[in-house]
Amino acid sequence: MVNLVATSHLSKGMLVTNGNDTINNFSFTGATAFPPFSANGAGIVYESGNLVLNNDYFFNNQDGLRGNPLVANTGSVTVNNSMFANNGVSFQGTSTTGTGFGFTHNILVRRARFTRVRACRSPGTRSSTI
């Protein structure tokens, strides 16, 4: 497994995808974006194309996977056999609920033509969205 660890604040995510990408056996941890960037740092930010995730692990991020295609009703996201654990981390003093202003998620994909999540787990999550 390839382990990606964010050691400083991000403006978006550890990886930003804009093509036809398949990511296998990666782990993503520590993704945070400090205000004014929205406290919405992600392991992966999906912006266009077709994204496939297989056997990946997202933990201790503000967001695991966040997506919002630049052109509505295009592209696809498929997530297989992956884990999203303990996401929804925040900064001390930025939220009374400890979840980064309520903008943190395990998986949040909007406006994609197709999204499929299969055989995934989401233990210990600090947010309500998968």
Return the pLDDT at 92: 53
Q: What is the C-alpha separation between 35 and 48, in angstroms, rounded?
A: 25
* 52-95 tens-digit pLDDT: 999 999 999 989 999 999 999 999 999 999 999 988 776 555 44
> 14-18, 86-90, 124-128: which range is least confident on average?
124-128
**Domain-wise residue ranges, the chain:** 2-118
Question: Which amino acid, one-letter code, is at 57?
Answer: Y
Q: Considering only CA atoms, which of 129, 75, 68 is closest in space to residue 103?
A: 129
Task: Record the pTM.
Answer: 0.88
Q: How many other C-beta atoms lie within 10 A of the C-beta of residue 118? A: 9
